[in-house]
């Protein structure tokens, strides 16, 4: 999957099909916006939000996958320090996911 561009938009209108999931404000805004943009992917880690996206045929990437892509493209040398920084900042990542990400990154 190739990320072609980033779009930053102030979106105040929540789609009813997203609002029905009672997600967080940020996840709801991102998914509502994605419904109005063809052929886009969103970066979401929240499990319920990912389920919502799947039900609406919205492509998702998690932060871990984004780190792997950054390493593959030579933007970062290692994913391990970035994963630890995310954990230190309060993002919950299971040990099994961390192990998988490091394995996929060759670390």
State how beta strands 59-61 and 41-43 pair. parallel
Q: How far apart are CA 35 and CA 39, in angstroms?
A: 10
**pLDDT reported for residue 99:** 96
**pLDDT reported for residue 12:** 66
**pLDDT reported for residue 58:** 95
pLDDT tens string 26-43: 899 899 989 988 888 999
Q: What tokens were used for 32?
A: 């509502």
Compute how many other C-beta atoms are within 10 angstroms of the C-beta atom of residue 69: 15
Region 4-9: mean pLDDT is 62
Region 91-106: mean pLDDT is 94
Query: In angstroms, how far apart are the furthest CA atoms of the chain?
Result: 43
Region 51-69: mean pLDDT is 94
């Amino acid at each position: 999957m190739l990320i072609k561009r980033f779009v930053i938009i102030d979106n105040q209108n929540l789609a009813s099909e997203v609002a029905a999931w009672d997600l967080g404000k940020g996840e709801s805004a991102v998914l509502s916006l994605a419904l109005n943009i063809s052929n886009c992917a969103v970066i979401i880690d929240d499990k319920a939000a990912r389920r919502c996206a799947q039900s609406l045929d919205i492509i998702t990437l998690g932060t871990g996958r984004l780190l792997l892509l950054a390493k593959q493209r030579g933007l970062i040398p290692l994913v391990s320090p970035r994963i630890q920084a995310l954990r230190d900042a309060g993002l919950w990542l299971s040990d099994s996911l961390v192990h998988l990400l490091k394995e996929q990154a060759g670390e």
